Structure 1
Amino acid sequence: MSAKVEEIRLNLPHIELAAHLYGPEDGKPVLALHGWLDNAATFHRLAPKLEGLRIVALDFAGHGHSGHRAPGASYLLWDYALDVLMVAEQLGWQRFSLLGHSMGAIVSVLLAAAMPQRIERLALIDGLVPYVGEADRAPEKLGEALQAQLDLRAKRKPVYAQIERAVDARMQGVGAVSREAAELLAGRGLMPTAGGYTWRTDARLTLPSPLRLTRAHARAFVEALQCPVDLVLAEQGMLSGEPLLLAWLEHLPLSVHRLAGGHHLHLDDEAGAQSVADCFNRAFQAP
């Protein structure tokens, strides 16, 4: 499907973010948040199929065409949540909805739980809460994260002689995707460099988290949600192998839609995008 999309820039006090803009000016305001190491192109198939919405699909900081954070700054989930709030402030949106995939869904949950007065509705795709860690392993994990920051100086991004090689690599990356999906993500995520092409993403995005929420923290955020929540679970997605999370879903205040497809079912093909759109169109049209 050919998407009518506008490229925009958002100048926040601390960073410049890029975004794709979809939908009518008078549509319901929605900020769309992509997954880790992806970019705004993840919504290329889905956004045009969502009816009556004014969608701003961000490139998160360090991703796509957005700026990288300053030296010494971090890419923690709550840093993204603040970016999202500041984008809404710039757009003049006091109340808005969030459409999130994977990491974008996690950021959506954290923000909606922390600032319920700002969020109208959540539409989540194969993501809900971050990977958790318990207190007894926190010192060990912090040490690993600090060492990884020191070691990063010696690491170099991969360079691909042809764009096709980068597409092949993305097909096998985190949350394996179809070739068409990989081409869309790579088209926005690559830049020329000596010897070929490399990823625009900030290398710091690959660092391990210095501190993880506990299971109790994660559940508290979900239980604090006050807005309607629709969660699409991909049958071959990344959440399908999380038995603890699947058990939670039986008791949490969410509308769950189980659909065929992988972690990027909204981008892999038109059929998957339409099935996700059908779920969310019903949700956004509800009173």
Structure 2
Amino acid sequence: MSNLFEEVRLNLPHIELAAHLFGPEDGLPVIALHGWLDNSMSFARLAPKLTGVRIVALDLAGHGHSGHRPAGGGYALWDYAYDILQVAEQFGWQRFSLLGHSMGAIVSVLLAGALPERVERLALIDGLVPFTGEAETAPEKLGEALRAKLALGSKRKPVYETVERAVEARMKGVGAVSREAAELLAQRGLMPVPGGYTWRTDPRLTLPSPLRLTQAHALAFLRRLSCPVSLALAEQGMLAHQAAVVKMLGEFSFDVTPLAGGHHLHLDDEKGADAVADCFNRFFTVA
């Protein structure tokens, strides 16, 4: 596996983000967005296999080596969309493509639907729209989120005696991953603390969402997409088991490619990364 990349720090007006740069400087501009609680190492296998593209693989705010939101702030999906726009501004990219996995794919769809004039192409890995909720459940969801936020101050992040223990925990987490994938994420995601190691991620990332988009909202974003969309759908992943999302896909002419593997198929092993790369190399080179 090639790990040829450049490490950069991006001083945005409101936060500092870390990123890995892959590919030639004159390649097609692509901003890569990882999933929830992951980091830019999510693209360590895939990015070197993509040709003709200049990839900025971000550590999203609160993840990896990027800054955390200020006290009192949060991690709404639309806040990430604003971060991405600021990253594009730093690179002088008026138009760019997005490569997103899971939560990163969801943020990509929201941004491309909100500002279709800015996004050239969407390459999505096992992610499309956020979990939705209807109006009648909104008061309960807000109450749940407020109670969790009040309780967060009394909670302590887990500390693992060894890196190996942390890797084993990540293998069993949400969106279970292979050992090699967990080790790659741990390289960037762990930090030493008294007693061992803990994850760098902001604890606020684990708080429940105070408000969910309705299904009508989600469909409105999808219907406003004006760029080509390629979705690598993991056959043993998360989307394939969400009946509402599968039904949504039937309404759109997206390029959907079912691929063997789990939710992190692009990171779990070389075979999965090769399959996703084959899919997206074709997609990025279509005129």
> Taking structure 2 as the reference length, what is the TM-score of the superposition?
0.99
Letter in 1 for 2:286: A
How far is 1:3 from its partner? 2.2
The aligned residue for residue 252 of structure 1 is: 252
- Give 1:138 deviation, angstroms: 0.3
Correspondence for 2:17: 17
Q: Is there any run of 5+ residues in structure 2 with no aligned partner, and where?
A: none
1:213 corresponds to: 213
Return the offset for 1:228: 0.2
1:123-138 aligned within 5 A: 123-138=123-138
Task: Please state how far the C-alpha of 1:249 moved relative to its aligned partner.
Answer: 1.1
Q: Deviations over 1:86-135 (max 9, x none)?
A: 00001110000000000000000000000011000000000000000000
Whichever residue aligns with residue 141 of structure 1, its letter is K
Question: What's the counterpart of residue 41 of structure 2?
Answer: 41
Tell me which residue corresponds to 1:62: 62
Tell me the residue number matched to 1:75: 75
Residues 43-192 of structure 1 correspond to what in structure 2 (within 5 A)? 43-192=43-192
Does the 8 Å contact 1:35/1:104 carry over to 2?
yes
Partner of 1:6: 6
Query: In 2, distance between residues paired with 1:13 and 1:68?
Result: 14
CA distance in 2, matches of 1:219, 1:251: 10
Q: Is the 8 A contact 1:132 1:218 kept in 2?
A: yes
Residue 269 of structure 1, CA deviation? 0.3
Give the letter aligned to residue 233 of structure 2: L
Confirm whether residue 266 of structure 1 aligns to residue 274 of structure 2: no
Query: Is contact 1:233-1:259 (8 Å) kept?
Result: yes
Q: Structure 1, unaligned stretches of length 5 or more?
A: none
| SS of 2:241 mapped into structure 1 | coil
Instruction: Kindly provide the CA deviation profile for residues 37-64 of structure 1, in whole angstroms up to 9, marking residues without a partner as x.
Output: 0000000000000000000000000000
Letter in 2 for 1:258: P
1:244 Cα deviation from its structure 2 partner:
1.4
The letter of the residue matching 1:266 is H
2-structure distance, mates of 1:92, 1:141 = 39
Q: Note the C-alpha offset of 1:248.
A: 1.6
C-alpha separation between the residues in 1 aligned to 2:151 and 2:90?
A: 37
Deviation at residue 252 of structure 1 after TM alignment: 1.1
Distance 1:139 1:55 in 2: 40
Q: Quote the Cα distance in structure 1 between the aligned partners of 2:87 and 2:227.
A: 20
Match of 1:234 in 2: 234
Whole-angstrom CA distance in 2 between matches of 1:160 and 1:3: 27
- Contact 1:223-1:253 within 8 A present in 2 as well: no
Give the secondary-structure state (helix, strand or coil) at the position aligned to 1:282.
helix
Once residues 78 and 253 of structure 2 are traced to their aligned partners in structure 1, the CA distance between those partners, rounded to angstroms, is 23
3-state DSSP of counterpart to 2:146: helix
- The whole-number CA distance in structure 2 between the counterparts of 1:3 and 1:153 is 38
State the 1:251 CA deviation. Answer: 1.5
Aligned counterparts, 1:187-198, within 5 A: 187-198=187-198
TM-score, length-scaled by structure 1: 0.99
Aligned amino acid, residue 24 of structure 2: P
Q: Tell me how many residue pairs correspond in the alignment.
A: 287
1:97 aligned partner, one-letter code: S
2:132 counterpart letter in structure 1: V
The alignment partner of 1:21 has SS state of: strand
